[in-house]
Amino acid sequence: MQGLFGKYRVLLAPMAGVSDIALRTLCREQGADMTFTEMVSAKGLSYANEKTRHLLDLAPGEDRVAVQLFGHEPATMASQAAWIEGTMGDSLAYLDVNMGCPVRKIAGKGDGCALMRDPELAADVIDAIVKLVKHPVTCKFRRGWTLGEETAPEFAKRMEQAGAAAVAVHGRFGEQMYRGDAEWGVIGRVKEAVGIPVVGNGDIRSGEDCIRMAEQTGCDAVMIARAAEGNPWIFAEAKAALDGAAYEAPSLAERLAVARRHAELLTQREGRNIVRMRKHAAWYVTGLPGAAKARGMFNECTSLEEFNHVFDLLEERSGGR
C-alpha cells in the first residue's frame, strides 16, 4: 500500500452528491491521481437498491476508482464490499470505509463519524471486510468526535491492528461539522502513531497548501474535497506545486468551457441529473462579474440549453476574457 500512495499522491475526496461521474472525469483530466465514488450505503446495496448501485458506475475511460462505503454493521459492510469487489473486478482500486461524515442523517444512525465513538465496532467493521476481500481496505475519519477530545492517533492504531491498509485523516472534530479550520497537526500525530500510509485532508485550497501539508505532517498523499467544487484545475495546480513546475490558472473562457462540458456530462447520466448542475454552475462562476445574478438564474435551469444560455450571458458580459 505504501507503493500505492507513492503513485497516487493527490486524491479527489468522496463527496455525497458531488463526486459523481462528471466531476471525476474532469478532475482526472486535470491530474487527480485517484478519485472516489460518492459514499455508498452498504444497507442500500444489500437491498439491491438500483439508485445506490448506480453510484458505482464508471465514466468512459475511468479504468480505476476507489469506492467508499458507509454503514456500521460488520456483516453487511463485509458482504457488500465483497459484492462490489466481485462486480467491479480490476476497475476497483480499493475499498474505503467512511468514518468521518458528521451530518445527522448519517452519524445519527451510527454510521460515518459516529463510529469514532465506538472504536471496537469500527475495528470489527474493518476486520470483517478485510477477511472477505482481496483489495486493500482503508478508512477515513476525523480528529475525533467530541470537540476538544482528539482520539485520532489511538483510533488509527486500532484500525491498523484490524487490518486497515491506510487511513485518511480530516483535521476537524465531528462536532465541528465543517466549521472553523482544519488542524493539520493531528495528521502528523497519526503518521507517527501508525506504520501504514496516512492521507491528509482538510482545507487544501491551493497547490501551496499541498506542499505545506506534506511538509508539516509527513503524509503520504493529500486528499482534496471542497476546493475541487467548480475548480477541477486544483489538481493541475497541486501536481505542478508538488513537481516544482509552473502553473497557469485557467482563463474565464476556459472556466466557462469546462462548466459547459460539466453540464453536458451530467445530461449523459441516467435520470434528471442536469439539476445537479445548479450547485456546480454556482461554484464555477464564483468571483465572476454578474455571478450573483447568474446564481439566481441557475436555480431556474432544468436543461442543458438553459444553463448554456446563462453561461453565454456571463461570457458576453466579460467580453470573452
- Output phi, psi for 224, to 5 deg: -105, 135
**Cell of residue 74, nine digits:** 460488520
Quote the CA–CA distance of 39 and 319 in Å, as a whole number: 40
184, 190 Cβ separation under 8 angstroms: no
Looking at 27, 101, 210, 301, which residue is catalytic? Answer: 101
Quote the CA–CA distance of 37 and 58 in Å, as a whole number: 9
List, in sequence order, the alpha helices (H) in 133-251: 152-162, 185-193, 207-217, 234-243
Q: Is 139 a catalytic residue?
A: no
- CB within 8 Å of 207: residues ≥ 6 apart: 234, 237, 238, 239, 240, 241, 242, 247
- CB within 8 Å of 31: residues ≥ 6 apart: 10, 235, 236, 238, 239
H or E stretch at 259 = helix 252-267
H or E stretch at 35 = strand 34-35
Amino acid 17 reads: G
**Cell of residue 295, nine digits:** 446564481
Active site residues: 101
